[in-house]
């Protein structure tokens, strides 16, 4: 676990955990632990879309309930503006930059298995 008092688990983590992927056990302590999980709205979109495309509507629906019981992060102007800068500076895709900016805005550790975030401050890559 991190020293942060709250975490943002990105789309890769939700997908691993929900689908019992090869890294599900690495994400389990975050989902099953006491730390609050913040969920950027872009994560709702990405995870639901991927589950609908690659799995089933039933599994996509299973994701919605626990995700909605977490702390929702809306994309405000600060997050959007900083995401643009982070995207350029760290060569991140739009969704990744928005997720990272949302985590930074809320001083939350970003938990991911996405190597695009490797070596960024405030990120734990599993």
What residue ranges of the chain have pLDDT lower than 50? 1-3
Write the DSSP string, 23-64.
THHHHHHHHHSSS-EEEEHHHHHHHHHHHHHHS-HHHHHHHH
**47-77 pLDDT per residue, tens:** 999 999 999 999 998 898 888 889 999 999 9
| 1, part of any domain | no
Q: What is the 3-state secondary structure (H, E, C) of 95-115?
A: HHHHHHHHHHHCCCEEEECCH
Residue 83 sits in a domain whose CATH number is 3.40.50.1010
Q: Give the length of the chain.
A: 126
- Residue 48: give the domain boundaries: 7-125
Number of domains the chain contains: 1
| 79, part of any domain | yes
């Amino acid at each position: 676990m991190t020293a942060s008092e709250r975490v943002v688990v990105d789309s890769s983590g939700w997908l691993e955990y929900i689908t019992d992927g090869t890294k599900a056990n690495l994400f389990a302590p975050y989902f099953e632990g006491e730390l609050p999980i913040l969920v950027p709205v872009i994560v709702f979109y990405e995870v639901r879309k991927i589950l609908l495309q690659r799995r089933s509507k039933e599994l996509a629906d299973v994701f919605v309930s626990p995700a909605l019981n977490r702390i929702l992060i809306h994309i405000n102007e600060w997050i959007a503006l900083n995401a643009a800068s982070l995207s350029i500076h760290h060569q991140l895709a739009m969704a990744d930059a928005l997720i990272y900016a949302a985590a930074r805005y809320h001083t939350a550790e970003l938990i991911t298995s996405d190597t695009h975030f490797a070596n960024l401050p405030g990120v734990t890559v599993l």
